[in-house]
Amino acid sequence: MQPETARLILRRPRLTDAPALFEFLGDAEAMRYTHVDASLRACRRRIALHEWRRRRNGYAPWTVVAKASGQIIGWGGLYEDPFDPGWGVEVGYFFHPAAWGRGYASELMAACTAIADEVLRVPEITAFAHPENGGSRRVLEKAGFEPVRFVPEMERMLFRRGGQALPSAE
């Protein structure tokens, strides 16, 4: 499955994407509210572990490509975190700073929630946002996520969105 939105191509990451992804996933300022990859090797490991989970679960983050330019501008989607398991199906999104403020996260989020509801039919999705990351919190709230609680060990708020009502099997 390679979903597209009006402005985005969401495709499986390739290890050759790692240098472009590391430009922002390894940028301490860009990733100040979340995990930052310490090296290109760590970025490749993140991609490989998530792809292993995709083979197991059928979903994992995509490389986000802008249709207009063909450039890699982000990484994100639905996943079960191989680095911090136990939170269920999560959604996450990480964008190059040059792509911030253009509505790409909301566009990616709409694709993710549609897939979660219509294809995967998961009962709920979780997400995390740092309390000071107002942009990320607004994206989540606009997509129907509600804050649940602060998770001190992660220094982030846990958000949850219940899935759409599923038709009965009658």
Q: Is the pLDDT of residue 42 over 60?
A: yes
One DSSP character per residue, 119-155 reads II--SEEEEEE-TT-HHHHHHHHHTT-EEEEEETTTT
pLDDT the model gives residue 165 = 44
User: Which SS3 state, helix, strand or coil, does residue 44 take?
Assistant: helix
- Tens of pLDDT, residue by residue over 53-94, are 999 999 999 999 999 999 999 999 999 998 888 999 999 999
- Tens of pLDDT, residue by residue over 110-160, are 999 999 999 999 999 999 999 999 999 999 999 999 999 999 999 999 999
Distance from C-alpha of 102 to C-alpha of 9, rounded to nearest angstrom: 15
pLDDT the model gives residue 111 = 96
Confidence tier at 166 by pLDDT (50, 70, 90): very low
Distances from the Cα of 75 to the Cαs of 48, 84, 144, 146, in angstroms?
Answer: 13, 18, 21, 23
pLDDT the model gives residue 167 = 43
